[in-house]
Amino acid sequence: MKYRFEIEKKDYTDFASGRVLYNAPNTTAFPVRLASEIIQRAFEIMEEQGAPGPYRIYDPCCGGGFLLTTIGFLFNVRVSELIASDVDKAVLEIAKQNLSLLTMEGLAARRQQLEEYISAYNKDSHREALASAERLANLIDNQPINVRCLQRDITDLTNYSISDVDIIITDIPYGNLVSWAGAGADSLDHLFQNCYKALNKKHSVLVIIADKQPKLRHELFQRVQYFKLGKRQIAFFKPL
Ligand SMILES: C[S@@+](CC[C@H](N)C(=O)[O-])C[C@H]1O[C@@H](n2cnc3c(N)ncnc32)[C@H](O)[C@@H]1O
């Protein structure tokens, strides 16, 4: 895969998990350059459909919310709402904390915590994290992004409250650190069905990131872009 948007490799240290963004057991990070490339491709697909944004973006397997939070920082003014759901209540608490960093209050609370660590431990790593927090603050617009976090098994086909989403982006369970909870062999099919229900049918994009194994196709969707990078495959779909 050739990067089309995130052409230059930049320094993404400010986004490192556990630095300013919170880290916890059973949560995973996501490569920031790849996240940026993927979401810009999704924006392009939306623009081609006549939808310039700002967008409502949903991750139904959000884990600690790393992917959504980095998107919220990098493309702040292009996002109107971030919706995060996961089956695991414990990781959702981390997602809430991470997404709170997208507000001035949340980031101020994190800065204060880092200042307290500096006073208590006098460590360079905390000073560097504080400098990162100050740079991240510059990425936030005055108009805060709406954030919703909810517990949800995305393989459960009973009705739920999310609709009219512009972009769904999700890094589905790979099976090593985190595996599917829910509908067993039908999990991916059910995820496609639930994403279809959640998306705005006039103009929207679903992006699924997976390891090499699953077949990323579904009868409710037209696959419009596809690429592989390292151990990952990334597929972009429009609802039919
Ligand atoms: C690879 S991680 C996602 C990481 C996330 N994108 C991030 O940036 O932090 C996959 C997530 O899928 C969740 N998961 C597993 N089965 C699920 C289900 N049935 N419904 C919703 N989430 C599920 C796991 O709890 C895990 O947090």
Distance CA 112, CA 213 (A): 44
- Sheet with 205-210, strands from edge to edge, namely 146-151, 79-86, 55-59, 167-171, 205-210, 232-239, 221-229
Which residue, by CA, sits nearest to atom 26 of ligand 1? 63
Which residue, by CA, sits nearest to atom 27 of ligand 1? 63
Whether residue 228 contacts residue 216, with contact meaning beta carbons closer than 8 Å, is answered with: no
pLDDT at 160: 81
Residue carrying structure tokens 């696959």 = 223
* Type of residue at 29: A
Chain centroid to CA 30 = 9
Distance CA 177, CA 38 (A): 23
Ligand 1 geometric centre to CA of 131 (Å): 30
pLDDT at 176: 54
Segments of the chain with pLDDT less than 50:
none
Whether residue 159 contacts residue 50, with contact meaning beta carbons closer than 8 Å, is answered with: no
Rounded to the nearest 5 degrees, what angle is found at the Cα of 36, between the Cα atoms of 34 and 40? 120
Ligand 1 geometric centre to CA of 59 (Å): 9
By CB atoms closer than 10 A (0-12, 13-18, 19+), residue 122 is exposed
pLDDT at 177: 55
Q: How far apart are the first and last CA of the chain?
A: 26
Largest CA distance in the chain: 57
pTM of the model: 0.95
The preferred substitution site among 17, 27, 61 for testing ligand 1, maximizing ligand atoms within 8 Å of CB, is 61
Domains and CATH numbers, the chain: 13-102+144-239 (3.40.50.150), 104-139 (no CATH)
Establish whether residue 32 lines the binding site of ligand 1, counting it when its CB lies within 6 angstroms of any ligand atom: no
pLDDT at 183: 67
Give the residue among 221, 190, 187 at the shortest CA–CA distance from 207. Answer: 221
Ligand 1 geometric centre to CA of 61 (Å): 4
Measured from the Cβ of residue 204, the count of other Cβ atoms closer than 10 Å reads 26
Whether residue 60 contacts residue 191, with contact meaning beta carbons closer than 8 Å, is answered with: yes
pLDDT at 219: 98
Establish whether residue 166 lines the binding site of ligand 1, counting it when its CB lies within 6 angstroms of any ligand atom: no
Establish whether residue 191 lines the binding site of ligand 1, counting it when its CB lies within 6 angstroms of any ligand atom: no
Ligand 1 geometric centre to CA of 11 (Å): 26
pLDDT at 228: 95
